[in-house]
């Protein structure tokens, strides 16, 4: 996902091994989904405490959901979209295992899982959902959360707040805050994400900690910086390191007031000193695994596959600090989004809760997800390293103005790094375009 964010292959996973019949159904479903409504189903409520089903506390988004808690298990059918099968195995396998667990615990319940390439996920949903099509729900980062919520494409799940923050879900308040738009909850948080430095500890015995260290080690390092928004995701952590800020609390771009141009100048200097630049994180992953680079910035979604390839050589550290402060990357949740046009809203809510039970969420944690559930801990060293760095992140804003950040500043990065454009001028142009698009 990539994380988000973003745009180019964040959710890198590598094989598909489960439920051949469901995959066939998913392929057929994609061909007809625009012309059809969301999958129909009876909306049963789960057995409290049963394996793979949530305790029915807090109810759903409708009055019926809070008053029908019973011993009835989940029944009917749902369609869910995910993007974990784009190019790898670990996340996709974990997700499929979790779905299978819920289905096993609820014999009258089936889930049609459709793997949608991450680059198409949000656009497909925004095209199909208004027509009453698309999935009942999907799981993804909160990249498009504000836009889809304000377009009334997502179900308001604010009635689940007390359920999600209580046992057994124990969702962190940071995750809950990042899942809200204009004071309402539109995402059921699953995990938290932020990018840090993956590195080979046999090639870099001491990871570069500051921007000066990065310039010294530039020939051993890489950076994902591609246009169309991707680079502007990976670069965000640099802004605080150079004392910059993209926008104020109203959404007005203030990047031209200092710091941001220094961050882009640093990227150009590092590239000139030998740092390799990538259009997507898949290529960077391949080079790290092959020993062609010693490290690059990416997120925990890459952890499981990198660990398989590199074993004990893999380590994680914070990105570069700078003269203005510490590295502070965007931090935001992955989670479930329910189609407001779905005829199965309550069932979709209960399925999401079942997927987030600790026994299921631990499976995702072991695949590199950092749980939004504060009581679940990752089991491996890499995930623990990421989890320890999360508190230093920058909570991703849900202001509508952020929508016009990605492309403008992604292009600014390319202009500065590739074409030698003056970073002050590039930032001024990007900031003016962002404010113009936001009518600010």
What backbone phi and psi angles, to 5 degrees, belong to 184? Answer: -120, 150
**What was the pLDDT predicted at 229?**
56
**What was the pLDDT predicted at 387?**
84
Cβ partners under 8 Å of residue 95, min gap 6: 82, 84, 113, 139, 364
Query: Which band of pLDDT confidence, cut at 50, 70 and 90, is reported for residue 59?
Result: very low
**What was the pLDDT predicted at 20?**
36
- Per-residue tokens: 299: 């997120």
**What was the pLDDT predicted at 88?**
59
pLDDT (tens digit, 9 = 90+) per residue, 372-431?
A: 998 998 888 898 899 888 878 888 888 889 989 999 999 999 999 999 999 999 999 999
Is residue 251 within 8 A of residue 401, CB to CB? The reply is yes
Q: Average model confidence (pLDDT) for the chain?
A: 84
Calpha distance 266→257 (Å, rounded): 17
Q: For residue 245, what are the β-bridge partners?
A: none
**What was the pLDDT predicted at 399?**
86
The one-character DSSP state at 372 is: S
**What was the pLDDT predicted at 166?**
97
Residue found under tokens 């202001």: 399
Give the lowest-confidence range in 11-15, 72-76, 81-85: 11-15
> Cβ-count burial of 354 within 10 angstroms (0-12 exposed, 13-18 middle, 19+ buried)?
buried
Between 369 and 226, the higher pLDDT residue: 369
User: How far are the Cα atoms of 9, 142, 151, 161, 334 from residue 145, in angstroms, in the given order?
Assistant: 19, 5, 10, 17, 10
- Per-residue tokens: 124: 């497909």
pLDDT (tens digit, 9 = 90+) per residue, 174-193?
A: 889 889 999 999 999 999 88
**What was the pLDDT predicted at 230?**
72
Query: Which band of pLDDT confidence, cut at 50, 70 and 90, is reported for residue 324?
Result: very high
**DSSP states along 257-273:** GTTHHHHHHHHHHHHHT
Query: Which band of pLDDT confidence, cut at 50, 70 and 90, is reported for residue 359?
Result: very high
- Per-residue tokens: 191: 């995990």
What backbone phi and psi angles, to 5 degrees, belong to 414? Answer: -60, -40
pLDDT (tens digit, 9 = 90+) per residue, 88-123?
A: 578 899 999 999 999 999 999 999 999 999 889 999
**What was the pLDDT predicted at 90?**
80
Would you say the pTM of this structure is higher than 0.75?
no
What backbone phi and psi angles, to 5 degrees, belong to 370? Answer: -100, 105
Query: Smallest Cα–Cα separation from 297: which of 361, 236, 364, 363?
Result: 236
Give the residue-averaged pLDDT of 205-233.
Answer: 90
Dihedral angle computed from the Cα positions of residues 73, 75, 81 and 85, in that order, rounded to the nearest 10 degrees:
70
Query: Smallest Cα–Cα separation from 340: which of 84, 140, 131?
Result: 131
């Amino acid at each position: 996902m990539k994380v988000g964010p973003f745009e180019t292959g964040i959710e890198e996973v590598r094989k598909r091994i489960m439920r051949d019949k469901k995959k066939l159904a998913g392929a057929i479903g994609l061909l007809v989904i625009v012309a059809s409504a969301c999958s129909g189903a009876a909306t049963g409520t789960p057995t409290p405490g049963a394996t793979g089903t949530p305790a029915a506390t807090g109810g759903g988004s409708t009055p019926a959901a809070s008053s029908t808690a019973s011993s009835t298990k989940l029944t009917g059918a749902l369609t869910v979209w995910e993007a974990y099968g784009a190019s790898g195995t670990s996340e996709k396998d974990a997700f499929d295992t979790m779905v299978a667990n819920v289905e096993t615990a609820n014999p009258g319940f089936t889930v049609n899982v459709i793997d949608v390439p991450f680059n198409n996920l949000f656009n497909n949903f925004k095209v199909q959902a208004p027509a009453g099509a698309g999935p009942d729900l999907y799981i993804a980062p909160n990249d498009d959360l504000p836009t889809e919520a304000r377009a009334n494409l997502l179900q308001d799940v604010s009635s689940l707040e007390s359920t999600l923050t209580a046992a057994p879900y124990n969702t962190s308040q940071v995750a809950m805050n990042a899942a809200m738009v204009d004071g309402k909850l539109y995402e059921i948080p699953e995990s938290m994400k932020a990018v840090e430095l993956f590195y080979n500890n046999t090639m870099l015995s001491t990871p570069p900690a500051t921007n000066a260290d990065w310039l010294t080690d530039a020939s051993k390092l890489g950076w994902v910086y591609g246009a169309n928004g991707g680079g502007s995701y990976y670069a965000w952590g640099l802004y605080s390191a150079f004392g910059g800020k993209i926008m104020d609390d109203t959404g007005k771009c203030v990047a031209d007031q200092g710091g941001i141009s220094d961050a882009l100048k640093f990227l150009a200097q590092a590239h000139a000193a030998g740092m390799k630049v990538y259009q997507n994180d898949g290529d960077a992953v391949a080079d790290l695994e092959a020993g062609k680079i010693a490290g690059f910035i990416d997120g925990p979604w890459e952890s499981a596959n990198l660990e398989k390839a590199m074993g004990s050589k893999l380590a994680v550290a914070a990105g570069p600090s700078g003269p203005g402060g510490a590295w502070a990357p965007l931090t935001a949740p992955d989670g479930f989004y329910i189609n407001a046009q779905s005829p199965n809203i309550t069932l979709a809510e209960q399925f999401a809760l079942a997927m987030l039970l600790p026994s299921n969420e631990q499976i995702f944690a072991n695949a590199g997800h950092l749980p939004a559930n504060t009581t679940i801990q990752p089991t491996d060293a890499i995930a623990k390293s990421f989890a320890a760095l999360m508190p230093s992140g920058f909570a991703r804003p849900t202001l509508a103005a952020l929508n016009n950040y990605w492309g403008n500043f992604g292009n600014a990065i390319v202009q500065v790094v590739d074409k030698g454009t003056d970073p002050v001028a590039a930032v001024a142009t990007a900031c003016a375009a962002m404010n113009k698009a936001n009518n600010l």
